[in-house]
Amino acid sequence: MPTNEQILDALQKVFDPELGRNIVELGMVRALSIKENGEVSFTLALTIPGCPMKNQMERDARMALMALPGVNEVIVTFGAMTEVEKKAVFAKGMPELPKLNKFNRVEKVIAVMSGKGGVGKTSITAILACALAHSGKKVGILDADITGPSIPRLFGLPAGGLRSSDQGILPAVTKLGIKVVSINLLVPTEDAAVIWRGPMITGTIQQFWRDVLWGKLDVLLVDLPPGTSDAALTVMQTLPVNGVLLVSTPQELAGMVVRKADSMIKQMKVPVLAVVENMSYFTCPDCGKAHELFGPSHIEELARSVETQTWIQLAIDPKLAALADAGKIEAYSSSNITELIQKTEI
Ligand SMILES: Nc1ncnc2c1ncn2[C@@H]1O[C@H](COP(=O)(O)OP(=O)(O)OP(=O)(O)O)[C@@H](O)[C@H]1O
Ligand SMILES: [Mg+2]
């Protein structure tokens, strides 16, 4: 039969992903009881009753406890912290930022985010990086999409392209001189699947920030996976993000989920620099007319709802998809992206 101490020890390995601290330290574990028959039960006091991370924490706690000899069953009930308790938790602040490699100097970190998948974050990150590089800026891309990395493919960078040096991991460099770090550059083949749990994703992103020899960069763009996942939270919590670009498509649903992402950004106190509505329209090559294939735009309304004055629209452009697929994204240019850079002063 495990002791109270052993149970609490095991629960110290369970983290609140939003706060980056373990649930014991946060005072979330209450009414712990251990029965003779190996049944362990406790109440998990949440900071927010509907916390989207509660199921993950429950799962992690269950796994941590079931691994202990003598534990046969784990019962977790959810409770809520009082206002005073919550204040005390938040007053402790966020965990300290990991220190950047001493050889690095990164002026600006911009994260590219969306609520929904497949809206064009990676494409926009890539063409924005190219436009910045063309204007003489020193640019890096940190591919924070650990389980679905696609940045290297757009630039035609082969798998296994990262090298190491005494000073840190050396990024791959594109033809335009953009420094790229992605898990796809570490795995032996591009198709090797990366199936990792949250803490490993978090650790990898922190390493991509801390242990990579980025050198001097004017802008580091961070390509995020869709939604408010572990990766997105890690980036917002542990990287000094100066601003976020929110990508959406005209579908109302995409707008709704983008607002969800916005609420996370607000909690992290990072400004939304602009909303980019991708695939807004398609200009017919024959008649020259713009057709709103995914329905009418909601961009102005969306920009208002996430409290930014700045938005741009991008057309559906088969040339963009073709160049991306061919690994030749650096040959693509878009006047709207230039407009985005001017408007946001990235
Ligand atoms: N404006 C566009 N015109 C034509 N095709 C586009 C456009 N934007 C993106 N695409 C295509 O749509 C697909 C999805 O784009 P992309 O991978 O950039 O989205 P994503 O938001 O990064 O996706 P994920 O959420 O999976 O990371 C790609 O095949 C890309 O080439
Ligand atoms: Mg992507």
Tally of CA atoms within 13 A in the half-sphere of 81 that contains its CB: 18
Q: Pick the residue whose CA is nearest to atom 28 on ligand 1.
A: 321
For residue 151, how far is its CA from the centre of ligand 1 (angstroms)? Answer: 11
Q: Identify the residues whose C-beta falls under 6 Å from ligand 1.
A: 114, 117-123, 145, 148, 150, 225-226, 278-279, 314, 316-317, 320-321, 324
Q: Pick the residue whose CA is nearest to atom 30 on ligand 1.
A: 321
Residue 5: the pLDDT is 92
For residue 142, how far is its CA from the centre of ligand 2 (angstroms)? Answer: 12
pTM exceeds 0.85 for this model? no
Q: In the chain, helix, strand, coil percent, each to 5?
A: 35, 25, 45
Q: What is the DSSP letter of 184?
A: G
Which class for 3: exposed (0-12), middle (13-18), buried (19 or more C-beta within 10 A)?
Answer: exposed
Residue 69: the pLDDT is 93
Q: Pick the residue whose CA is nearest to atom 16 on ligand 1.
A: 120
Per-residue pLDDT of the chain (346 residues; tens, 9 = 90+): 899 999 999 999 888 877 778 899 899 999 999 999 999 999 999 988 877 788 889 998 998 999 999 999 999 999 999 988 888 887 765 555 556 677 899 999 999 998 888 999 999 999 999 999 999 999 999 999 988 899 999 999 998 888 888 778 899 999 999 999 999 898 777 766 666 777 778 888 988 998 899 999 999 999 999 887 778 888 988 899 999 999 999 886 666 777 777 777 777 778 899 999 999 999 998 998 999 988 888 888 888 888 899 999 999 999 999 999 999 999 999 999 999 999 999 9
Q: Are residues 188 and 148 part of one domain?
A: yes
Q: Are residues 192 and 69 part of one domain?
A: no
Last residue of a domain, one of 27, 57, 91: 91
In Å, how far from its chain's centre is CA 167? 26
Q: Are residues 220 and 153 part of one domain?
A: yes
- Counting from 1 in the atom list of ligand 1, the atom nearest the Cα of 226 is 25
Q: Are residues 335 and 222 part of one domain?
A: yes
Per-residue buried b or exposed e for 121-151, using 16+ beta carbons within 10 Å of the residue's own CB: bbbbbbbbbbbbbeeebbbbbbbbbbeebbb
Sign of CA dihedral 139, 145, 146, 147: negative
Q: Which residue among 113, 114, 122 is best mutated to probe the pocket of ligand 1, counting the most ligand atoms within 8 A of its Cβ?
A: 122
The Cα–Cα gap between 229 and 152 comes to: 21
- Counting from 1 in the atom list of ligand 1, the atom nearest the Cα of 225 is 27
Last residue of a domain, one of 31, 66, 91: 91
The Cα–Cα gap between 145 and 143 comes to: 5
**Domain-embedded: residue 98:** no
CATH code for the domain of 255: 3.40.50.300
Boundaries of domain holding 9: 4-91
**Domain-embedded: residue 143:** yes
**Domain-embedded: residue 114:** yes
**Domain-embedded: residue 198:** yes
- Counting from 1 in the atom list of ligand 1, the atom nearest the Cα of 318 is 4
For residue 120, how far is its CA from the centre of ligand 2 (angstroms)? Answer: 7
Q: Pick the residue whose CA is nearest to atom 19 on ligand 1.
A: 120
For residue 215, how far is its CA from the centre of ligand 2 (angstroms)? Answer: 25
CATH code for the domain of 26: 3.30.300.130
Q: Are residues 316 and 196 part of one domain?
A: yes
Q: Are residues 214 and 174 part of one domain?
A: yes
Domain count, the chain: 2
Q: Are residues 196 and 163 part of one domain?
A: yes
Q: Are residues 206 and 245 part of one domain?
A: yes
- Counting from 1 in the atom list of ligand 1, the atom nearest the Cα of 317 is 3
**Domain-embedded: residue 100:** no
CA angle 274, 275, 279 (to 5 degrees): 140
**Domain-embedded: residue 15:** yes
What value does the CA radius of gyration of the chain take, rounded to a whole number of Å? 22
For residue 101, how far is its CA from the centre of ligand 1 (angstroms)? Answer: 32
For residue 123, how far is its CA from the centre of ligand 1 (angstroms)? Answer: 6
Q: Are residues 157 and 62 part of one domain?
A: no
Q: Are residues 129 and 87 part of one domain?
A: no
Which class for 113: exposed (0-12), middle (13-18), buried (19 or more C-beta within 10 A)?
Answer: buried
314 with 78: CB under 8 angstroms? no
Q: Are residues 223 and 78 part of one domain?
A: no
Q: Are residues 156 and 187 part of one domain?
A: yes
**Domain-embedded: residue 310:** yes
Widest Cα–Cα separation across the chain:
78
**Domain-embedded: residue 315:** yes
